[in-house]
Amino acid sequence: MSIPGVSFVYGNIQIVAPQAGGNAVEVRVNPTTGNVRVGVNGQAQEFPAAQVYNVTYQGGSAGGDTFVNALGVPGVCYGYAGYNNFVGGTAYNFAYLYGPSNAYSAAGSANTVFLNGGQNGRVVNPTGCQLTVYP
């Protein structure tokens, strides 16, 4: 089953939020199949884990998105208009968050987070990994 906004090209799972805001997206390994499961707003699609090398997420223009990368591959995510809640994977992650009241939870080997144009942004580092935050 193909999900609108999800593509898989040259090892990159690219997800473009299908709604303007309020998207719920999660990328993780399905323990039953061993494949990478991409869940977007209640729909799911799987890809062979051995062929996945990185994940890219582009949030909706109205904000309020949730994105969870629970993989051990590098990730890049973009959140717009504020009120986004993102969780990085266990490899290197870049997060670009625009607008107020964004939240990011760092994990993995290293994370670089850009908080652009907003107040009340919150970045937590529960694993103690390398973390660089640019306001």
Per-residue pLDDT tens digits of the chain, which is 135 residues long: 689 999 999 999 999 999 999 999 999 999 999 999 999 999 999 999 999 999 999 999 999 999 999 999 999 999 999 999 999 999 999 999 999 999 999 987 899 999 998 788 999 999 899 999 998
Q: Cα–Cα distance between 15 and 8 in angstroms, integer?
A: 9
The first and second tokens of residue 54, run together, are: 């990185």
Q: What is the DSSP pairing of strand 36-40 with strand 24-29?
A: antiparallel
Residue with tokens 């997800």, as numbered in its chain: 15
Cα 93 to chain centroid, rounded:
9
pLDDT at 108: 79
The pair of structure tokens assigned to 75 is: 């990730």
Q: State if pTM tops 0.75.
A: yes
Please report the pLDDT score of residue 109 as a whole number: 85
